[in-house]
Structure 1
Amino acid sequence: MQEYSIGRLKDRFVVYWYEPGGNRRRFRLEADDRESAEAEARDLVLAYAAEKSELTVRSIWNAYSDTVVGRPVHDSMEFTGRSVLPWFGAFRPDQITVQDCKDYAADRRRARISDGTIWTQLNKLRTCLNWAAKTGLIERAPHIERPSKPAPKERYLTRNEVKRLLSAECAPHIKLAIRLMLATAARVTAVLELTWDRVDFEKGQINLRAGDERRKGRAIVPMTNGVRAALLEARKAALSNHVVEWGGGPVKSIKKGFKAAAAAAELSDVSPHVLRHTAAVHMAEAGISMDEIAQFLGHSDTRITASTYARYSPEHLRKAASALEFD
C-alpha cells in the first residue's frame, strides 16, 4: 500500500504522500479526531490508488488485500488470486457477466478443481467487489454466479479409528499435531502456529489465539490428561518456541506426514480437518451442549454449531419426539 502521512493544515487534518516522480498529493479530511482521520485517510489512499488504475478487478483485489494485512485472509487472498486474477483481473467490475463466471467454473472443472474450491474462489471475488461498492469505489457490485456449495463432508473417526491413528507409526511432530487437533478441536493452522507461551500447564489451558485477536475458529480450551502428558514430553525436547516443530523451527504443513499416518492406520478419506469434525461429533454424542461445543470450536454463533452437530446429540429432538407418542 502507498505510504502516507497525516498532518494538520489550518486546524484540519490532511493526508499526504509522495508519488514515484516526487510529486506530492495532499487531501483535506473531514475527520475531527486522529482515530477517525486514520480510517478516512486509509480509505482515501486506497480509493485514489484504485481510481488511478481505472478500477480493474486486479486493483480492487489488491486494495482489499491491503485492508486485511496481518490476518489469515490476506494469505488466502494472495493464493486465490493466482487463479482468479488471470481470468478476471483486467476486467472492470461492470464488465463481468454471469457467463464469465460460468466460463470460469467450467475452466476450473477441466483443470480438475472441485466445485467447493471454485465456490470459494468466486466468493473471494464477490467479497472484494461488495467491499468496493460498500466503500464507494464502485457504484454497485456485479452479480457473481457461483456453483452450488457442496454439502459438508460427513466423515469423522470412530473411537476405534482414533485409537488406530494415534497408534500409527509417524514422526513425533506429526503425532503431537494429531493429538492436539483431536483434543482441542482446532484447525491444523492454529495447532501449527501454537507457541509455548500460550500453553498454561498451571491452569491446564491451551490458548489457540495469537495475541488478543479473536481469529476464526480459535478458542481457549482445557487440556485433556493425554495432551498434557504429550505436551510435557515435547516441552523437554523443545528447540524453539513453537509447540509443533521440526529441525528446531516451525512447521508450515503436515500434509505428507498426516497422509502417511492415515495410511499406516488404514484410514481413507481422512484429512486434518476431519479431526476437528471428529472432536465436535464425539462431544455432541456425549451430550455436551451446543453452547459448550460452540465455545470449543470458536464459533461466535451457536446456531452454526447446532446446524452441523445437533443431529449427533442423543437429546436432539427428543422432546419433540415425545409429543408423537400415540400408543
Structure 2
Amino acid sequence: MARRAKAWFTEDGRPIMHDGIYKNTPGGDFLFDFRCCGQHKKGSTGTPIEDLARAHVAQLKRQITDAFYGRTPPEPVKPKVYTLFEVWEEWEKKKTSSVSKSHVRWMKGVVVHHTHEWKDLPITELEGAAISTLKDRYMSGTGKGFKKGEGHTVRTHSGGGWNKVLVQLRALVGFAQSEGMIQDRTFSAKGNWLKPASKAPGFLWPEQVQKFLAPIDTMRKNCKGDRFCHPGIYIRLMLGVGLREGEAINLEWERVNWRQNVIVIADARATDWRPKDREVREIEMPAWLRTYLLQWWEFCERPSKGLVMVSRHGGAHREGISKRAIEKGAAELGIVGLHPHLLRATFATTQWEIGATLDEIAAMLGHDDPEITLKHYIRRRPKGQTVNQAKAAERMGFTNPQIVPA
C-alpha cells in the first residue's frame, strides 16, 4: 500500500528519503537516490506503487553489488499480474467508503455473478475475444429480475443489462490503470455495446391535465397532517412553469417573488476548470399556480425562507418522489411510459400552441439552443390528417367502411 502523498514531505516542502526512494510531487512516480559500492544512482522508478518502487531500488542495489563483487546479476523483477477478482477486492477496499451502496452492489453483482468464470483471468487479458465470449454467454443466460406485478421472475438478460455490465468492467479496468496495476489500458468495448429496443414515451396533452390531476389530488401526506399532496405541488410546478423535478424539489421560498409574480431559478453550469457558474432565469407564474402556492404558503404559516416542500426527515425529497403519483394519474387516461421530465414537454407544447415563440419557450425551459426545445419538447398535433385520410379513402374507392370482401 502506498503512503499518503503528504507523508513524503516535510513542513517546508522538502521530500523525505525512505530506503533510497521518495516522491518529488504528490501523486507522481517514486524517485530513487542512493549510494552503493562507491556509485551514486538517481532517477525515476517509473511506478507510483511503493512496493514496486522498493523492489526496483533493491534490484538496482543488487546489480551494483554483484557487479562490484563479480557475481552474476539476478533476473529482473517482474511486476505482479492482477486477476479480475483481485482488482475487484482492491476496488472494494478503497471505493466502498466513497461511492453509493447501489454502486457497490452493482459492481459486486457483475464480478461475483456475471463474470465469476473469469475471476482468475488476468486483467490484462480482459479484451476483445474475452469480452465477446462474455457477451454471448450473458445474452443467452437468464436471471431473476423484479418487475411490478410479476415479482421476482426468471427472464432472459436484456441488451440494457449487458451495457450496464460493460460499464462496470470499464470502471474496474480504469481503476486498475489509475492504481498502477496495469500500464496500458487494453480493455476495449468497441463493437460490444447493444442498443436496447426503445419504447415510445407517453405524452400528456393540455386538455388531459385536469383528469390527470384528479386522482393525484386524492393522495394526502399523513405526516404533520398536510392537506396538500407534495407530489401534486411538484407536478403543478412542472406543468405551470416548466421546472425540472430537481428544481421543483429544491425550490425555496426566497425564490418565489410574490410582488413581481415570478419564480427565480438558478441553473448550475459546469465548465472544464472553473467552479459552476450560475445563470438565473425568471419565469412568470400563471394565476392558477399563484393561487395554489398562496394556499400552501398560508398553510405553512407564511415562511420567509427554506424549502417549499420539506420531507418527513426535515430535508428535501429524493429524486423520483412524483413518479408514483404521475403513474397513478396516467393510469386514469391509459397513458403508458409517462415520467416526470415529460411534463416539461406538456408545458412547452401548451406554450407553443397558444402562440409563444420558440426563443421564449427555450428561455423558460433554460435551454441555450432553441433547436433542442423544438426537437425534444414540442409535440405537434397531426392537423388535417382526418380530412386527408377521408379524401384518400374516397379516391381509393373505400367509401363504405362496412364492405367486407367475400
Normalising by structure 2, we get a TM-score of 0.50
Q: What's the CA shift for 1:143?
A: 1.1
Answer yes or no: is 1:258 the counterpart of 2:254. no
* Distance verdict in 2 for CA 1:143–1:209, change over 3 Å: same
For the 8 Å contact 2:139–2:159, the answer to whether it is kept is no
Normalising by structure 1, we get a TM-score of 0.59
Given candidates 344, 350, 353, the residue that maps to 1:276 is 344
For the 8 Å contact 2:91–2:175, the answer to whether it is kept is no
Post-superposition Cα deviations, 1:158-215, rounded to whole Å, max 9, x if no partner, equal 1111222234333321210111222344443443343434444456124265799869
Answer yes or no: is 1:236 the counterpart of 2:298. yes
In 2, the alpha carbon distance for the partners of 1:114 and 1:186 equals 36
AA at the equivalent of 2:309: V
Correspondence for 1:166: 213
Correspondence for 1:308: 376
Correspondence for 2:289: 227
Correspondence for 2:171: 128
Between Structure 1 and Structure 2, the one with more helix by share is 1
- What does residue range 1-327 of structure 1 map to in structure 2 within 5 Å? 4=4, 6=6, 8-9=9-10, 12=13, 27-29=23-25, 54=82, 56=84, 58=88, 77=103, 80-81=106-107, 83-86=109-112, 87-88=114-115, 90=119, 92=123, 94-95=125-126, 97-107=131-141, 111=145, 112=155, 115=158, 117-118=160-161, 121-122=164-165, 124-125=167-168, 128=171, 138=182, 139-140=184-185, 141-143=187-189, 145-151=192-198, 153-168=200-215, 169-171=218-220, 172-201=229-258, 204-207=262-265, 220-225=281-286, 226-238=288-300, 241-247=306-312, 249=314, 250-252=316-318, 253-263=321-331, 265-269=332-336, 270-283=338-351, 293=361, 296-298=364-366, 304-309=372-377, 312=380
Post-superposition Cα deviations, 1:257-290, rounded to whole Å, max 9, x if no partner, equal 3333333x43431332332333344445566566
Higher radius of gyration, 1 or 2:
2
Worse-superposed segment, 190-199 or 157-166 = 190-199
AA at the equivalent of 1:251: H
Correspondence for 1:21: none
For the 8 Å contact 2:138–2:162, the answer to whether it is kept is no
In 1, the alpha carbon distance for the partners of 2:206 and 2:91 equals 44
Worse-superposed segment, 74-83 or 253-262 = 74-83
* Distance verdict in 2 for CA 1:307–1:210, change over 3 Å: closer
* Distance verdict in 2 for CA 1:286–1:5, change over 3 Å: farther
Question: Greater RCO between the two (CA within 8 Å, min separation 6)?
Answer: 1
In 2, the alpha carbon distance for the partners of 1:209 and 1:170 equals 31
Post-superposition Cα deviations, 1:224-282, rounded to whole Å, max 9, x if no partner, equal 2233333332233338933234547443333433333333x434313323323333444
> How many residues are paired up?
282
In 1, the alpha carbon distance for the partners of 2:96 and 2:372 equals 29
In 2, the alpha carbon distance for the partners of 1:234 and 1:285 equals 30
Which residues of structure 2 form unaligned runs of 5+?
28-47, 53-78, 146-154, 221-228, 383-406
Worse-superposed segment, 176-185 or 287-296 = 287-296
* Distance verdict in 2 for CA 1:211–1:303, change over 3 Å: closer
Structure 1 vs Structure 2: percent identity of aligned residues?
Answer: 21
In 1, the alpha carbon distance for the partners of 2:296 and 2:95 equals 37
**Which SS does the other structure have where 1:222 is aligned?**
strand
